[in-house]
A = this chain, B = another copy of it.
Amino acid sequence: MHHFTERSERIPVNVIRELFKLMADPDIISLGGGNPAKESFPLEEVRQITDYLLCVHGADILQYGVTPGYLPLRQAYLEHLARPKGVQAEVANTIIFTGSTQGISLTLELFCNEGDTVLVENPTFLGTLNVMYKMGLRVVPVETDAQGICIDDLEEKVRRERPRLLYTIPTFQNPTGRTIPAERRQRIAELAAKYDFIVLEDDPYGDVRLAGEPVPPIKSFDTAGNVVMMNSFSKIISPGLRVGVGVAEADIAAKLEALKQGADTHTALLPQAICAEFLDRGLLPAHLQRIAAIYRERLDAMLAAMAKHFPADCRYTVPEGGLFLWVELAGDIDATRLLERAVAEEKVAFVPGAPFCVHAEDGRSCMRLNFSNSGPKQITTAIERLGRLLQSETK
């Protein structure tokens, strides 16, 4: 038996990663997980770009790179993604991460000591919760409604709890699919300035919009330099490439660079160069439309099937983008127990709500459904099966 540090013993089992094992059974339709549609990957473009890059810049790409990231990617990101959204930033404000997971983890490491208080949306992404638990942070959930974070509750908790940081996924939130409107975003930035806390704005889904108009990032309202924004190429090009980007004040970016140096020296260059070239060739806008068309069809299939097969007293979100929607089951159904039945009896998987909530009971009767990773027919079948199960539970 080995003796491990307390922090490493505090990490809960990651329900979603465990679900990967279920998905190995080809008969199970998984609405768990958060994989993008593999049909949406720009495979031919990536193949051509990669061959070009290795032919023209091969030796440089195979060599060590610099810690804050491949310069053409930082520039392309600013030009094609950050500045068009109203984020005023320069190269010194950017840092490339090995997925935004790394950026989130290092930002928490930069600002939070064990025992510090941080605020999160209730519910929120369980991967980030797990990092916070590992670090021994005091995690306080903020109330949310159909428009995301409730500003009054946020201000009350900020005054009472004096948090170091608020973690938020403002657009097509994981797990709810909800989007915070512009006015609330501005208020969040103002509160961060007034009460001197950091806003960690995690935005991996914002460009996967299926309907409605884009909303400016919280970072675009940041006058005090308190917002650290994380973007990712996982949902818009490929998650297997593991490329994310952070935008922050230059002093924060420099400190994140120092932390990243010890974390993995730098992010793999070939994936960074692929993303840069993809942006610089102007391929992203058409590709995002292609993704949106695929996801639109899948989300519509899910919503249509839910209207038809779910009990009438189920409530669920109708997101304008992203990969997920959130279901609140009627009555006192335990979604974790329901998952066991769903897998065993109906061969359908989803993620139960509890692990997304600091207080597990808040998510007890909820489930997160993913609509990106199965075709419309599979989704229809899965929802029909889930509906049958739910009808049998509520009888």
Which A residues are within 8 Å of any B CB, using their own CB? 1-8, 11, 14, 17, 20, 33-36, 38-39, 41, 43, 46-47, 50-51, 54-55, 58-67, 97-99, 101-102, 105, 109-113, 127, 130-131, 134, 198, 225-226, 234, 237-243, 249, 251-252, 255, 258-259, 261-271
Contact = CB atoms under 8 A, between A and B. Distances in A.
Nearest to A258: B11
B266 A242 contact: yes
Nearest to A47: B54
A268 B265 contact: no
A15 to B, nearest CB: 12
Given A47-B55, A111-B5, A262 B105 contact: yes
Contacts of A20: 66
Given A41-B59, A258-B8, A101 B263 contact: yes
Contact of A5 (B6, B67, B110): B110
A241 B268 contact: yes
A243 B14 CA distance: 24
B239 A62 contact: yes
Contacts of A101: 262-265
Given A8-B259, A63-B240, 9 more contacts: A3-B111, A7-B109, A17-B261, A46-B62, A64-B234, A98-B267, A99-B265, A101-B264, A134-B262
A382 to B, nearest CB: 20
A46 B67 contact: no
A54 to B, nearest CB: 4
Contacts of A226: 2
Q: Which of A262, A263, A269 has the most CB of B within 10 A?
A: A262
A110 B61 contact: no
B11 A63 contact: no
Q: How many copies does the complex hold?
A: 2
A2 B41 contact: no
Contacts of A11: 258-259, 261-262
A229 B31 CA distance: 38
B102 A264 contact: yes
A30 to B, nearest CB: 13
Contact of A264 (B62, B65, B237, B264): B264
A255 B4 contact: yes
Contact of A35 (B8, B33, B46, B64): B64
Interface centre among A6, A110, A112 (most CB of B within 10 A): A110
22 contacts: A5-B113, A8-B258, A8-B259, A35-B64, A41-B59, A43-B54, A43-B59, A60-B240, A61-B240, A64-B240, A98-B267, A99-B264, A101-B263, A127-B262, A130-B262, A131-B262, A134-B259, A240-B269, A242-B268, A243-B268, A267-B268, A268-B271
Contact of A41 (B39, B58, B252, B259): B58
Task: Select the residue from A98, A234, A255 with max chain B CB neighbours within 10 A.
Answer: A98
A269 B243 CA distance: 11
A62 B127 contact: no
Contacts of A265: 99, 101, 127, 242
